Structure 1
Amino acid sequence: MTAEAAAMVQEAVTQESQQVLTFTLGAESYGVDILRVQEIRGWTSVTRIPQAPEHVLGVLNLRGSIVPIIDLRRRFGIGEAAFTPLTVIIVLLVELPGGRREFGLVVDGVSDVVDITATNMKPPPEIGGRVDGAFLKGLATVSDAMVILLDVDTLISKEVALVAVEEQEH
């Protein structure tokens, strides 16, 4: 292969790769696009919102911005979170129909930042499970382990719609 051809192949691979922040929930590894991550914070208590869904823990004031905090364990039906020194809040920038907004996701712990390429990513299986398939971008193999890649825009859009419906019912 010529140097020019090798450079073209490398460029194609680079364009298809994506950096992902991986984290744990229970025994599973999940990932989100690193470009969406605004901040990773240690667990701190939040201000509860009356009549919010159980998995919406409340809000945090981050530098003057009110950020809703969602417990992914509760949202995915994994069970109650045990808040440990490893528990963190991942603050993400999410694209919603009304514009961009920050949301926080409570997870058991952050693992690593990894490169995901098209070759090690597969579409999500259509077999039910704890996590709604609409929330998934796909599955990736990283160091012989599976990472469930989340579509945070879809996940949070459904959260916003769910809260709006519940507010109308009250």
Structure 2
Amino acid sequence: MNLRGSIVSVVDSRMFLDLEQVPYTPRTRLLSLQSNEMVICLAVDSVSEMLPIPATAINGNVRQATIPSWAAPYAMGSASLSNRVIIVLDVARLLFSEKMQRYKA
């Protein structure tokens, strides 16, 4: 797709993560991820809100029991924010993963 004048790949997050496929809906969104010069968009089911997470709120300890198995290879930590635990993904680890390099829709 064309994103602000640049051509970027779009990755279906459900297909990439080997999750059950569901049809796109009006709530489906594209999230733009960037690490250095690499940019991709992830098609996700929906986005409920976008929150800034201060670096001081990110804890490098991720208990395996608290995160879905699909997120474990890409998790860099968790953050406690407004009485919620949010899993923080490492964008570079996701973008440059072997699985992403072999991804084909």
Q: Name the TM-score, length of structure 2 as normaliser.
A: 0.73
Matched, 1:110 2:47: yes
* 1:91-106 superposed matches below 5 A: 91-95=32-36, 100-106=37-43
Matches within 5 A, 1:1-150: 60-95=1-36, 100-117=37-54, 118-119=56-57, 121-126=59-64, 129-150=68-89
CA distance in 1, matches of 2:39, 2:29: 16
Give yes or no for contact 1:74–1:81 (8 Å, CA) kept in 2. no
CA RMSD of the aligned region, Å? Answer: 2.6
Checking the alignment, whether the CA contact within 8 Å between 1:138 and 1:148 is kept in structure 2 is: yes
**Ranges in structure 2 where 5+ consecutive residues have no aligned partner:** none
**Which structure has the larger Rg over C-alpha atoms?**
1
Q: Percent identity?
A: 27
Greater strand content: 1
1:93/1:124 CA distance change after superposition, 3 Å = same
Alpha-carbon distance in 2 for matches of 1:63, 1:119: 32
Give unpaired runs (5+ residues) of structure 1: 1-59
Count of residues in correspondence between the two structures: 100
| Structure with greater helix percent | 1
Cα gap change, 1:122 to 1:93, in 2 (>3 Å): closer
